[in-house]
């Protein structure tokens, strides 16, 4: 008989159990926002600069996301929420925020909203945030606390969730 008593967490999955993969949630938000804009245009008020400003904000989000992903790869841990995390990363952007990839995604969505001059993408930040915060981040935090215990709790006290 296989007795797993010496491994109390062996029956738990070794990933966060996020409700959706974050890039899918982001892509669905972009598609929904642009589709809504085609059905009913909802531009920013006159005088709000669009185009190049949106491009700069979008690129800032991409740069943060790439920096965070590169930092994960250098640390030898997985980026995908469906894979096990092997270490607590506290270098690079993770010195300032526990979730730089998601902040990069938020900036990307804001940048696209400005670039495409559509408030729909800005409105969809709310459901996107709620899905990421409660369906992804909350589950990741719980998983990391179970897996790494005091090491993760110490990191949480030093570094804020968003900033």
**Ranges of the chain whose pLDDT falls below 50:** 1-10
Spatial contact of 81 and 137, defined as CB atoms under 8 Å apart: no
Spatial contact of 85 and 13, defined as CB atoms under 8 Å apart: no
Rounded CA separation 34/38 (Å) = 6
Q: Which long-range contacts (CB under 8 A, 24 or more apart) does 148-152 make?
A: 148/88, 151/88, 152/88
Neighbours of 145 (CB within 10 A): 14
Neighbours of 38 (CB within 10 A): 10
> For tokens 């090491």, what's the residue?
151
Neighbours of 64 (CB within 10 A): 22
Task: Provide the pLDDT for residue 17.
Answer: 86
Task: Provide the pLDDT for residue 34.
Answer: 97
Task: Provide the pLDDT for residue 8.
Answer: 46
C-alpha angle with apex 47: 42 to 52, nearest 5 degrees?
A: 85
**Span 28-72, pLDDT tens digits:** 999 999 999 999 999 998 877 788 999 999 999 999 999 999 999
Task: Provide the pLDDT for residue 12.
Answer: 64
Q: Residue 38: CA atoms inside 13 Å, Cβ hemisphere, count?
A: 5
Record the tokens describing residue 66, joined without a space.
């790439």
Task: Provide the pLDDT for residue 157.
Answer: 97
Coil, strand or helix: which one is 155?
helix
């Amino acid at each position: 008989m296989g007795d797993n008593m010496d491994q109390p967490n062996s029956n738990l999955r070794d990933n966060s159990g996020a409700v959706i993969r974050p890039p899918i949630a982001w892509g669905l938000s972009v598609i929904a926002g642009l589709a809504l804009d085609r059905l009913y245009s909802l531009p920013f008020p006159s005088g709000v600069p669009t185009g190049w400003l949106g491009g700069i904000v979008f690129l800032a989000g991409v740069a943060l996301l790439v920096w965070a992903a590169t930092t994960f790869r250098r640390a030898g841990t997985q980026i995908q929420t469906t894979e096990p995390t092997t270490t607590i990363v506290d270098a690079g952007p993770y010195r300032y925020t526990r979730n730089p990839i998601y902040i990069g995604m938020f900036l990307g969505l804001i940048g696209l909203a400005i670039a495409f001059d559509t408030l729909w993408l800005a409105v969809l930040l709310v459901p996107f945030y709620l899905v990421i915060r409660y369906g992804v981040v909350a589950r990741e935090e719980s998983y990391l606390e179970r897996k790494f215990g005091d090491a993760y709790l110490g990191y949480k006290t030093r570094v804020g969730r968003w900033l």
